[in-house]
Amino acid sequence: MKEESKIEFESFVKHMPKVELHLHIEGTLEPEMLLRFAQRNEINLPYKDIESARSAYQFKDLQSFLNVYYLGASVLREELDFYELTKAYLQRCKQQGIMHTEIFFDPQTHLSHGIALDVVMGGIRSALAEAECEWGISSALILCFERDRDAESTVSLLHDAMKIGGIAGIGLDSAELGNPPRKFQEVFQRAKNLGLHRVAHAGEEGPPEYIWEALNLLKVERIDHGVRCLEDSGLVERLLEERIPLTVCPFSNVELKVFPDLESHNLGKMIDAGLHVTINSDDPAYFGGYLNENIISTVNCLERDINDIILLQKNAIEASFCTTEKKKQMFSALENYVDGFLS
């Protein structure tokens, strides 16, 4: 790509109205904030400065990442911490042109540290409300259950969260291998009965069978990651027939060794197969980039073009848990931007 075209392309992405559907709020904990919270809450970490903290953000697989991720989450203790963490991410949304974001949070991690659920949710929800009022950034909050924990407590946790209010749905994350979706069938059925949206991480490190289970047993509406779906032609047919969204996170997949590099990522093949794919940043503080960086680098490395970027954002709007009216507004904002940029 010529330098002039590259600059124009990057400008197009940076200012385009966007939607993000796969973002763990604990995964936005930048090293500077990690150390600041640790000092404020008197938490001892093995990192003594920014460089040592940043050097720890290197991973060989999903589990090695989770070890660092959960250690980082241990510095989040007060409602102010959750508020500041969330507001900092939303400030980046403002800078990156993200008009709507759907945010995961992991309450079980914080409950295990003795942090009350209303403290966690109170801080996050305050920041979300402020961002919508101040910057017009809409959001949805998704409570994730950690699949490597016991499933027995999830129903009571869901009940507690519903009493507090403010969640749009539930999800399933953490260590995938050896933790099939079927473990969580009961709580997902409860959530469905309550009218909540349902998503699940599946087919990242785990096999295509986990995607089948998430669809058939958990009745999910979106698959988070799902990159291994191409290994099963019958599964691809199912995803196409039901137009199931896949929230793909390229930087994450490379950092966790699902693919050796961005050039090897199968996102392009997923687009060409007609799958309902989107690009997201997952845990951007740990994986080296937020939404714009994921889009720009991935599209460049896979030699895709502006039409693919537009398609991915249309997919994201359609796959969001927004009202029909809100989706119309977001489609209109995107179309007006594209027309103005390309005219």
pLDDT tens digits along 177-199: 999 999 999 999 999 999 999 99
pLDDT tens readout for residues 114-171: 999 999 999 999 999 999 999 999 999 999 999 999 999 999 999 999 999 999 999 9
pLDDT above 50 for 111: yes
CA distance 178 to 175: 8
Q: Considering 30, 102, 146, 204, which one is annotated as catalytic?
A: 204
pLDDT tens readout for residues 315-340: 999 999 999 999 999 999 999 999 99
pLDDT above 90 for 62: no
pLDDT tier, 60 (very low <50, low <70, confident <90, very high otherwise): confident
CA distance 265 to 25: 25
What is the pLDDT, as a whole number, of residue 247? 99
CA 137 to chain centre: 16
- Residue pair 168/141 in contact (Cβ under 8 Å)? The answer is yes
Beta strand segments in the chain, E? 18-24, 98-105, 138-146, 169-173, 197-202, 222-225, 245-248, 276-279
What is the pLDDT, as a whole number, of residue 6? 67
Tell me the mean pLDDT in the region 291-315. Answer: 97
Clarify whether 204 is annotated catalytic: yes
**What residues does each domain of the chain span?**
3-337
What is the pLDDT, as a whole number, of residue 197? 98
pLDDT above 60 for 37: yes
pLDDT above 60 for 3: no
What is the pLDDT, as a whole number, of residue 325? 98
Assign 3-class secondary structure to 34-92.
HHHHHHHCCCCCCCCCHHHHHHCCCCCCHHHHHHHHHHHHCCCCCHHHHHHHHHHHHHH
What is the pLDDT, as a whole number, of residue 7? 62
Share of the chain above pLDDT 70, in %: 98
Length of the chain: 343
What is the pLDDT, as a whole number, of residue 8? 85
What is the pLDDT, as a whole number, of residue 57? 87
pLDDT above 90 for 56: no
pLDDT tier, 78 (very low <50, low <70, confident <90, very high otherwise): very high
Mean pLDDT of the chain: 96
pLDDT above 50 for 4: no
- Residue pair 291/96 in contact (Cβ under 8 Å)? The answer is yes
What is the pLDDT, as a whole number, of residue 171? 98
Residues 6+ apart with CB under 8 A from 17: 97, 99, 313, 330, 333, 334, 337
Q: In what order do the strands lie in the sheet with 197-202?
A: 18-24, 98-105, 138-146, 169-173, 197-202, 222-225, 245-248, 276-279
- Name the superfamily (CATH) of residues 3-337: Metal-dependent hydrolases (3.20.20.140)
Tell me the mean pLDDT in the region 30-52. Answer: 93
What is the pLDDT, as a whole number, of residue 48? 81
Assign 3-class secondary structure to 192-221.
HHCCCEEEEEECCCCCHHHHHHHHHCCCCC
pTM for the whole structure: 0.96
